[in-house]
Amino acid sequence: MACKTLSKLCFGSSVVEEVALHPVISSVIPLCKVGADDAGHKLISLLEQSGLSPGYIDSHFMKAARDKDPLARTALSVLPIYQSGARGCFFDAASSQTFDANEMAEMLQEVSIAKNKSKIGAFIFGYPHLLPKIRGENLARVFFDARSLMSKNLHGGGITVLDINGVPPYSSAASHMRKGRTVEDLKSDPVLGAALSNIDILHLNEQELADITGVFLGKTENDAGVVNEADIDDAVKLFIDADVAVVAVTRGKDGCFVRCGNSKRFKRTPALPKSWADCTVMSQASELPNDAIINSNGAGDSFTAGFLVAAMLRNPYASSPKAVSSVAHRSLSPLHKKQPQKMTAYTLYMSERYVSLKTQCDDDKKEIFRRCHEQWQNETDEVRRNYEDKIAKLTSENADFIKYPTDDNNSFYQQQTLTLQQAADFASLVAAHHVNVATRNLKHLDMQLLLEQVLASGTSEEAIEI
């Protein structure tokens, strides 16, 4: 699910015929253990078919690992969704039971050799509670190896991410108390403890947070259905004090809660936006149409991938002065205040309707944007193509190339990024597209449109310079 989401966010804007667009992330490499069985063949096929760009998900390394163990079987989960909305789960761990840190280390080494001249920007590891041989010191080793691989990145390394799933409830008597575990308890956790200081972004949902920390997330013992944000913050702070840089807690229909460590911790991971240090935000869940059919399976994976992309977003033209095509490279313009604002098909469409919508919505900017976005989503392909043609004509009339302002003395991490609030909103929006069955299987999400939605939400007027 994470690979699938990343593949949707590969390109900054809709693909225009005969125009090569700048990729936000150039490729994704899944590292896992599958078998030469039907489930393995199907998984590889689904991965390779994800996204608009053939080969965007590089399955070479997982195929090579599969061929080394002819007895391996592919893990499989079957999740029935009942009419009530509840879900079941039938799980065959298969070779996930035997997949170990040595095998992962070997795969990372192969990636390091093959991609020596490439910039590995991030490493996402998922579900250690379901991998009995990659826990504790073995999990720490995997993260250490990943950091070593990313240290070759010229921009100071990359970002490590841990996504949690399959957590057993904390069984101590402390689980029935409000405070639960201590920081030292967490550092000694047999699954996560040894790796915590090397985790840049940790994602888990509300229930998993309670299960791991033992912190009771409710106003009173008799009101367990109502979650108190202060209790969430207390539980999250345990991870922050254990040296995790960013903790993101997804809360279903209640949105998400994100807290970051201090600037000292952020200095250890220069790939993270410096402006996020010491910040805490809450983001509401993105609204879906009233008639939307929802499938929440994989929502957390999708959120995590979207949040990582939001953390990695940088203006791609500020690191060195060069001329770029104004048609091909229009994806990240909101991220640089000095950059000329180039009209897109959507913004042109919105500008034509803004005055009338302003009157209809009593100058409520959020409502104006919501209605306009809804109208755009319901337009026919022909109407959208007409606006694309208008933009192409306007661009060709103005200039073939635009010179972007840059500062030769600025390093990659002295450019601009999304604020933490915008990043949380962005990830929530990506997750909303995933859980909505109508948009779940889209091969592409328009980054420009997503960013415009986030920037128009009113959470922040401009990007923060770091």
* Residue range 186-212, pLDDT digits in tens: 999 999 999 999 999 999 999 999 999
Q: Closest Cα partner for 70 from 34, 26, 119, 23?
A: 34
Beta strand ranges found along 127-182 (DSSP E)? 159-163
Q: Which pLDDT belongs to residue 336?
A: 33
| Mean pLDDT across the chain | 79
Distance CA 387, CA 382 (A): 9
Judged against a pLDDT cut of 80, whether residue 462 lies above it is answered with no
- At position 93, the amino acid (one-letter code) is A
How far, in Å, are 272, 427, 465 from residue 127 at the CA level? 23, 20, 34
* Residue range 217-227, pLDDT digits in tens: 875 555 556 78
Judged against a pLDDT cut of 50, whether residue 333 lies above it is answered with no
Distance CA 265, CA 270 (A): 10
Q: Which pLDDT belongs to residue 12?
A: 54
What is the token pair recorded at 348? 């042109």
Judged against a pLDDT cut of 60, whether residue 48 lies above it is answered with yes
- At position 218, the amino acid (one-letter code) is G
Q: For the stretch 394-411, what's the b/e string if a residue is b when 16 or more beta carbons lie within 10 angstroms of its beta carbon?
A: ebeeeeeebebebeeeee
What is the token pair recorded at 193? 């403890």
Q: Which pLDDT belongs to residue 219?
A: 53
Q: What is the mean pLDDT of residues 13-35?
A: 66
- Tell me what percent of the residues of the chain surpass a pLDDT of 70: 77
DSSP character at residue 287: P
What is the token pair recorded at 71? 């007895």
Judged against a pLDDT cut of 90, whether residue 370 lies above it is answered with no
What is the CA 48 to chain-centroid distance, rounded?
Answer: 19
Q: Closest Cα partner for 6 from 227, 181, 172, 159?
A: 159
Residue 121: CA atoms inside 13 Å, Cβ hemisphere, count?
Answer: 18
- Under DSSP, is residue 256 helix (H, G, I), strand (E, B) or coil? strand
- Beta 159-163 vs 201-205: how paired, if at all? parallel
Distance CA 34, CA 231 (A): 40
Lowest mean pLDDT segment, chosen from 295-299, 343-347, 461-465: 461-465
What is the token pair recorded at 107? 């795969």
Sequence-separated contacts (24+) of 395-403 with Cβ below 8 Å: 395/326, 395/327, 395/342, 398/326, 399/326, 400/325, 400/326, 401/323, 401/324, 401/325, 401/326, 402/323, 402/324, 402/326, 402/340, 402/342, 403/321, 403/323
Distance CA 94, CA 109 (A): 24
Q: Which pLDDT belongs to residue 221?
A: 52
* Residue range 250-302, pLDDT digits in tens: 999 899 999 999 999 999 999 999 999 999 999 998 888 888 988 888 999 99
How far, in Å, are 99, 128, 341 from residue 116 at the CA level? 25, 27, 36
What is the token pair recorded at 283? 């983001």
Q: Give yes or no for a contact between 78 and 90, defined as CB atoms under 8 angstroms apart.
A: yes
> What is the DSSP track for 97-138?
GT--HHHHHHHHHHHHHHTTTS---EEEEE-GGG-TTSSTHH
- Under DSSP, is residue 168 helix (H, G, I), strand (E, B) or coil? coil
Q: Which of 106-115, 344-353, 395-404 has the highest mean pLDDT?
A: 106-115
Judged against a pLDDT cut of 60, whether residue 249 lies above it is answered with yes
Q: What is the mean pLDDT of residues 451-460?
A: 70
Distance CA 223, CA 232 (A): 15
| 87 or 188, greater pLDDT | 188
* Residue range 109-132, pLDDT digits in tens: 999 888 876 778 899 999 999 999
Interhelix angle 229-241/206-213, nearest 10 degrees? 60
The C-alpha angle 75, 77, 83, rounded to 5 degrees, equals: 175
Q: Which pLDDT belongs to residue 9?
A: 87
pLDDT band at 345 (very low <50, low <70, confident <90, very high): confident
Q: Closest Cα partner for 358 from 373, 369, 374, 346?
A: 369
Residue 369: CA atoms inside 13 Å, Cβ hemisphere, count?
Answer: 14
Residue in this structure with the two tokens 């040296």, named with its chain if needed: 243
Residue in this structure with the two tokens 């009995």, named with its chain if needed: 132
Beta strand ranges found along 284-426 (DSSP E)? 323-325, 401-403, 416-417
How far, in Å, are 232, 308, 389 from residue 412 at the CA level? 34, 17, 34
* Residue range 129-175, pLDDT digits in tens: 999 999 999 999 999 999 988 887 655 689 999 999 989 876 544 44
| 333 or 271, greater pLDDT | 271
